[in-house]
Amino acid sequence: MTTTLPATPAPIPRDALVPVLDPTGSGRMLPQEAYTSDDVLTWEREHFFARTWVCAGRSADLATPGDRRAVSIGDDSVVLVRGDDGQVRAFYNVCRHRGHELVPCGAAASRRNAIHCPYHAWTYSLDGSLRATPRFDEPPGFDKADFGLVPVRAEEWHGWVMVNVSGDAPPLAEYVGALDEIVAPYECERLVATTTHEYELGANWKLPLENYHECYHCPAIHPELCVVSPPASGDNYDLPGAFIGGTMDLEPHAETMSMTGASGGVVLRGLDATLRRQVIYVGVFPNLLLSLHPDYVMTHRIEPRSPSRSWVECQWLFAPEAVESDGFDPSYAVDFWDVTNRQDWHACEGVQRGVSSRGYRPGPFSEAEDAVQQFVTFVARGYLGGTLSLANG
């Protein structure tokens, strides 16, 4: 992928990235600056968050015309709105009068039939066009048509809203590449998010992603997980698209990932015999993790807060026929992964403390960490080239 924006390498010495990309070895962890530097995070917000497709949440949160929500993406705040025509649109969260923010960022979705600026009450239609400028003495030549909200690229993808703030990422279909087919049987667009947890962790945003892409740590920190899924099982994908991940098997006694291996839900109707016996774990660069189980989907959406802090939203999605059934209780999945999430965050925070030390030296990866190597390779190439390559491997 090439962008039309200037490709500026990240503020990390080139020499520090050479070992990460060493073609003769297993690669190395990223250098310290990648986990601790304000300048690197500033660069990442622009190059990894503004110039890619970032997941902004579930489109079901904007179910009805007039529903809107503001999210922060990179350095920008973006308003997502469901229009009268049913389409989700995105706009920069900036009034065209004197620039006031239109909708508080991070607040729950709300509904009105127009977008009202809280400062001088300019009003925009749901399609972003300027509708009213109360008590405004129009200067000569003023034309409302020139002052609509500035649009941002947004598309719905399997029930998620994907946003490209810079406007020049490749088409979404090309960006996600082969992942589209991997995700399709789960019919995520029809699944219902019953539960959302938010976590704040004291770790750089890349550490939970690196951690997600290997189960070498599972025997040491996830006793519950190892009961239902063999940590060394499964294969990783090497396919086109800005994603990394692979499969893991379920133990013979386990129907899904839960404390006992029992499911409290319904097997997703589109899954074949193979998919019913495994879990797919994929990370869509930069901020969405999809964990596709036989009977539910779990997602993590990650946002950097500072070089050493991140926010993670975790959601659990089930088939509507499961959610509507008498006595349905999602806790079999939620409790299992909440325990596992907390074990992972504890580990990530331990790594953050380590990589912040004067004693940190980037270490090598085992074969079981090949997807982490893929991830840091992807990141390091981005740092050097000033842009992302969609090629895996």
Contact 262, 250 (CB under 8 A): no
Query: Among 279, 55, 75, 275, which residue's Cα sits nearest to residue 176?
Result: 55
344, interface contact from ligand FES, Fe ion, none, CB < 5-8 Å by kind: Fe ion
97, interface contact from ligand FES, Fe ion, none, CB < 5-8 Å by kind: ligand FES
# binding residues, ligand FES (CB under 6 A): 10
- List the x/- string, 327-356, binding to ligand FES by CB under 6 A: ------------------------------
Applying CB under 5 A, the span of 267-275, 286-294, 336-344, 360-368 interacting with Fe ion comes to 336-344
Nearer to ligand FES, 98 or 112 (CB): 98
Name which of residues 73 to 112 contact ligand FES (CB under 6 A).
Answer: 95, 97-100
Applying CB under 5 A, the span of 87-95, 155-163, 342-350, 385-393 interacting with Fe ion comes to 342-350
122, interface contact from ligand FES, Fe ion, none, CB < 5-8 Å by kind: ligand FES
Q: In angstroms, what is the minimal distance from the CB of 93 to ligand FES?
A: 11
Q: In angstroms, what is the minimal distance from the CB of 102 to ligand FES?
A: 7
List residues bridging with 152 in a β-sheet.
90
Contact 350, 337 (CB under 8 A): no
Nearer to ligand FES, 106 or 136 (CB): 136
> Does residue 253 belong to the site contacting ligand FES (CB under 6 A)?
no
Q: In angstroms, what is the minimal distance from the CB of 124 to ligand FES?
A: 10
| Cis upstream peptide for 19 (omega within 30°) | no
Which of 10, 30, 55, 117 is close enough to bind ligand FES by CB under 6 A? 117
Q: In angstroms, what is the minimal distance from the CB of 97 to ligand FES?
A: 3
Q: In angstroms, what is the minimal distance from the CB of 374 to ligand FES?
A: 45
142, interface contact from ligand FES, Fe ion, none, CB < 5-8 Å by kind: none
CA distances, 269 to each of 48, 228, 295, 334, 393 (Å)? 35, 22, 9, 21, 32
Q: Which pairing describes strands 123-124 and 151-157: parallel, antiparallel, or unpaired?
A: unpaired
CA distance 112 to 265: 35
Q: In angstroms, what is the minimal distance from the CB of 18 to Fe ion?
A: 29
Residues that bind ligand FES (CB under 6 A): 95, 97-100, 117, 119-122
What residue ranges bind Fe ion (CB under 5 A)? Answer: 344
